Amino acid sequence: YNIEQIKNFLTTKYGKDSFVEIYGATKVKDRQKAIESFQNDPKVRFFVSNPTTGGYGLTLTAANTVVYFSNNYNLEVRKQSEDRAHRSGQTGTVVIIDIITENTIDEKIMKALTKKGQIAAKTLGEEELKDWLL
């Protein structure tokens, strides 16, 4: 999936005001406005981004579900993007969902990320790994 397909689905199903988006070409002022809308406007239910653009330095504690439609092989990018919803101020449980089709590159990438996470946890220890990633 790409961001346009996801936006089209959300627009059709929930309306154009149900989501905000941040991607590489989004201007800095528009990024901040999108984040504030997602955090504060109850009509904005979805934050559409990719792990690289939306994965660093954002606080998205309004989220309680994170859905990955695709991944890359970079464990740091993945962990950073997961932690956008796991921030100070989060009051609920955060559920992370990966949509993966069997026998596709997504399945291979997920297995590689899992293996990398296990190796990093064994090498660094759980707490040191968290410190390194955060």
What are the structural domain ranges in the chain? 3-133
Fold category of 3-133 in CATH: Rossmann fold (3.40.50)
- Residue 15 banded pLDDT, cuts 50, 70, 90: very high
Residues linked to residue 97 through DSSP beta bridges, in sequence order: 67
- Residue 50 banded pLDDT, cuts 50, 70, 90: confident
Question: Does 83 have pLDDT greater than 60?
Answer: yes
Residues 65 and 18: their CA atoms lie apart, in Å, by 15
Average pLDDT over residues 13-38: 93
Span 91-108, pLDDT tens digits: 889 899 888 989 999 999
Ramachandran category for residue 125: left, alpha or beta (phi over 0 → left; psi -120 to 50 → alpha): left
